[in-house]
Structure 1
Amino acid sequence: MPTNASAAEHIKDLGEYVSASPSSFHAVDEAARRLDAAGFTGLNELEPWSGGAGGYYVIRDGALIAWVSPENAGPATGFNILGAHTDSPSFKLKPKPTTGKFGWLQAGVEVYGGPLLNSWLDRELQLAGRLVMRDGTQHLTATGPLLRFPQLAIHLDRAVNEGLTLSKQQHMNPIFGLGDPAGEDLLGLLASRVKDASVDAAEIGGYDVVVADTQAPAVFGVNSEFFASGRLDNLSSTHAGLVALIAHAGSAPADGPIAVLAAFDHEEIGSNSRSGACGPILEDILARISDGFGASVSQRRQALSASFCVSADAGHAVHPNYAERHDPANRPLLNRGPLLKINANQRYATDATGAAFWARLCAESGVPYQEFVSNNDIPCGSTIGPLTATRLGIRTVDVGVPLLSMHSARELCGVEDPYSLARVTDLFFATAM
């Protein structure tokens, strides 16, 4: 069936967002650029906030919290929160990053999260992230195509197709040139690729730099129904929340909830950071928003009790070649709507009340949804949902766009599903539970 025109426009914009976001720091920078263009106001955590109606955002490292306060918001107004994350499984540049041997220049990298290692082989890759100077100033950098993890030829490993084994330390060292490592400096190269600034590599005091695929996103399939891209887990959710929040800013009901996009960093490594969902960032920002309306401690608690979080993170579609790895009765497909993710052990935060609210939102927005539950023999991962529910006591439901090839350097979703998630999120931002 032909792709919906609005879905096609959304998927094109998602591709542009992903391409502009090779690291979590780029993802929040691009989000801030779009929010600025939509009339939002960026706030500094070090300064006082006056509060009031309107659109605002705060950046903390690789995380962004953005919100729209409606005209009649007050000290006990609840929050409707779309929670997502900006990071993706990858490799992170180590200290003393310029290495090599036998005439090859290589980059020293450490595995970040749980990437499918083999999917990163034989691709043109870049380094991207932030450089922090000794005086505290920060700069974004991205090299463009630079690196490659070269695979060993089958002639030198005749059994490779019977089972590929990769050592993270020995085999995952990308090449980036020829020469003597003593005469090369990756930090100098990163400094030279900073946009709109002149940076002295000798003044770099620290860096958070990751490896990212450079292949452009693509729509394909017999009816152009598939979308392939890096970092769909979880920029597909961050983008959907961003698009929905910007749309909501122009039509927020005066007596509605405060709509919030919470795009955390470090979900892929457990969320234990100042910008992760285990940290205080969301609680800090929500408290300051309520304080701006003159909230007492009791009214802050009222606001949280009236709040709801949709934890949006990519999930699994049924794999046609590995159907036995999925639950036999719940087998989601691409382009059949976003997932409602359920787990008896609360690895996902969905309960019956949250499921009913999600069903209501999907019905009212005209979007189908699918239920996902893991095969009993294969424990599922988790999301920021249980963390947010535990930290703040906010009722939470876990959802997400179905994918194939999750944690690959290049993941696959349906062209309809990200748009469907954005549509439901738009309605969610305006709807009190």
Structure 2
Amino acid sequence: MSAPHRLDRGHTDDLMTFLAASPTPYHAVANAAERLEKAGFRQVSETDAWDAETAGASASGSGGKYVLRGGAIIAWYVPEGAAPHTPYRIVGAHTDSPNLRVKPLPDTGAHGWRQVAVEIYGGPLMNSWLDRDLGLAGRLTLRDGSTRLVNVDRPLLRVPQLAIHLDRAVSAEGLKLDKQRHLQPIWGLGDDVRDGDLIAFLEEESGLGAGQVTGWDLMTHSVEAPAYLGRDKDLVAGPRMDNLLSVHAGVAALTAVAGGSELPYIPVLAAFDHEENGSQSDTGADGPLLGGILERSVFARGGSYEDRARAFAGTVCLSSDTGHAVHPNYAERHDPTHHPRVNGGPILKVNVNNRYATDGSGRAVWAAACEKAGVPFQSFVSNNSMPCGTTIGPITAARHGIKTVDIGVAILSMHSVRELCGADDPHLLANALVAFLEG
């Protein structure tokens, strides 16, 4: 079965639109859901009873389905005639990125400056947040329990760096930032700091009445738009590529294969929250969300526990996350024989200590998908002297007992407020994912 279509630089244009419109995990999944809806997918509720129609396995329930929970989304398409024990092909990713997040008591300030109290989320390159025009976005919870997305996408906040005249050693000794004292953004002037000012401002921005907001999950973002970069515009600079680049590619791949009647697998997109701080939440990869939805899909199609076991045993997950391209100024930090380059195709990530889940049989699955798609791929391993990071891959493999392969796109400036990738790698990844989901 050939790929429905081949994605090209137009995919990268669309990625930049997606990045700009998704300053938080909540916005990312809302935008993913909107794209899925346009492709014929429909949302199902976790609190409803599921039957074959709900799960998308009957004529009246045909088309893809998805579940939203907080900053996570699970979407799947059941091909016509799929048996309850049909295995899944899963693209896994995460929606969160390191940033500065608003504390429960956000209103603070000193010396005539009004500031917002923030906490460090994940492991950001903290210096990259200095002297940036920042917006504020996230989720507001109202008195009636409903939620409202908010996005102040204009210069509102700024973390000012100390002038070199007051830190003469900074150029020679490096910048040293205290997470508590040095990263609180300013957003105005005045000595009268009143509790509730920030939330009142956001209520007004959202068209809500005073006192309606009783809970919030808010975070800062750079308001600078993604852009092509370089003489030949063969690079892309933008925010949150780790890991919305993979989320966007996964949505594109799933919508491309949905509708196919000859699919030997059930294609799935699983985009989780909280990867950057360990995945241990009800919307993280270490929680029960994915397993519960896949099991319910099996049972809703008339399957038994035996069918569930058979389906999981034949399932493969590609854990798609960004990795490190070789840095021209720090080549010695990389493994001497593995130098992934931007626009060289997606990377296969390997670590024998299971920081990545890839093994030889998983490599073969990935290689077959890339060959089918006509996409080159590269291998990534860390320098032995520098322990690598990890992904949702090992968590997914261990929690659900399914074969998982770690892959992604090589970038520079990972965890910066503004990261850098090759302009061709996003669509090369998406094409490989299409071939993988097709089986």
* TM-score interval (norm. to shorter): over 0.9
- Residues 105, 234 of structure 1: CA spacing in aligned structure 2 closer, same or farther, 3 A cutoff? same
Partner of 1:19: 20
TM alignment of 1:104-115, pairs within 5 A: 104-115=113-124
Give the secondary structure class of the aligned counterpart of 2:211: helix
In 1: Cα distance, 2:387 partner to 2:261 partner? 41
Counterpart of 1:335 in 2: which secondary structure?
coil
Q: In structure 2, the residue corresponding to 1:202 is in which secondary structure?
A: coil
Q: Which residue of 2 aligns with 1:56?
A: 65
| Among candidates 378, 382, 389, match of residue 390 of structure 2 | 382
Alpha-carbon RMSD across the aligned residues, in angstroms, is 1.2
Q: Deviations over 1:309-342 (max 9, x none)?
A: 0000000000010111000000100000001000
Q: Is the 8 A contact 1:79 1:260 kept in 2?
A: yes
Letter in 1 for 2:257: H
**Structure 2 gaps, min length 5:** 1-5
After TM superposition, the runs of 4+ consecutive aligned structure 1 residues lying more than 4 A away are: none
Count of residues paired in the alignment: 423
Percent identity reads 53
Q: Is 1:166 aligned to 2:167, yes or no?
A: no
> What displacement does 1:48 show?
1.7
Aligned runs of 1:36-55 on 2, under 5 Å?
36-50=37-51, 51=55, 52=57, 53-55=62-64
C-alpha distance in 2, partners of 1:309/1:239?
A: 17
Q: Which amino acid aligns with 1:12?
A: D
Match of 2:325 in 1: 317
Measured after TM superposition, the shift of residue 386 of structure 1 is: 0.3
Deviation sequence 1:11-68 (CA, Å, 0-9, x none): 1100110111000000001111111111111111111223214201100110000111
Query: What SS does the corresponding residue of 2:181 show, helix, strand or coil?
Result: coil
Is the counterpart of residue 175 in structure 1 residue 183 in structure 2? no
1:86-122 residue CA offsets vs partner (Å, 9 max, x unmatched) = 0000011001101111111100000000000000111
Change (3 A) 1:201 1:108: farther
Match of 1:259 among 251, 260, 267: 267
Partner deviation per Cα, 1:363-407 (whole Å, 9 max, x = no partner): 111000000000001000100000000001100100001010000
TM-score (normalizing by structure 1): 0.96
SS of the counterpart of 2:270?
Answer: strand
1:72–1:254 contact (8 Å) kept in structure 2: no
Q: Using the TM superposition, give the Cα deviation of residue 201 of structure 1 relative to its aligned residue in structure 2, in angstroms.
A: 4.2
1:183 deviates by 7.5
Q: 1:342 aligns with which of 350, 370, 376?
A: 350
Q: Aligned-pair distance for 1:184?
A: 6.6
Residues 146-176 of structure 1: per-residue CA shift (max 9 Å, x gap)? 1111011111111111210000000000011
Quick check: 375-384 or 40-49, which moved more? 40-49
Q: Which shows bigger deviation, 5-14 or 262-271?
A: 5-14
Between 200-209 and 414-423, report the one with greater CA deviation.
200-209
- Residue 367 of structure 1 pairs with residue 381 of structure 2: no
Worse-matched range after superposition: 367-376 or 216-225: 216-225
After TM superposition, list the pairs within 5 Å mapping 1:183-198 onto structure 2.
185-194=197-206, 198=207
Trace 1:85-100 onto structure 2 (pairs within 5 A).
Answer: 85-100=94-109
CA contact (8 A) 1:72 1:255 kept: no
Paired AA for residue 98 in structure 1: D
Kindly indicate whether the alpha-carbon contact (under 8 Å) linking 1:7 and 1:415 is maintained by their aligned counterparts in 2. Answer: no
Q: Is the aligned partner of 1:417 residue 2:425?
A: yes
Aligned residue identity for 1:17: F
Q: Distance in 1 between matches of 2:289 and 2:227?
A: 35
Aligned-residue offset at 1:285: 0.5
Residues 1:103 and 1:253: Cα distance change in structure 2 (over 3 Å): same
Unmatched segments (≥5 aa) in structure 1:
none
Q: What amino acid is aligned across from residue 35 of structure 1 in structure 2? A: L
CA distance in 1 between partners of 2:70 and 2:304 (Å): 29
* 1:199 CA drift (Å): 1.9
Instruction: Give CA-to-partner distance per residue, 1:253-310, whole Å, 9 cap, x none.
Output: 4342110000000000100000000000000110111112111001100000011000
1:429 alignment partner in structure 2: 437
- Tell whether the 8 Å contact from 2:107 to 2:195 is kept in structure 1 after alignment: no
Q: 1:142 aligns with which of 136, 147, 151?
A: 151
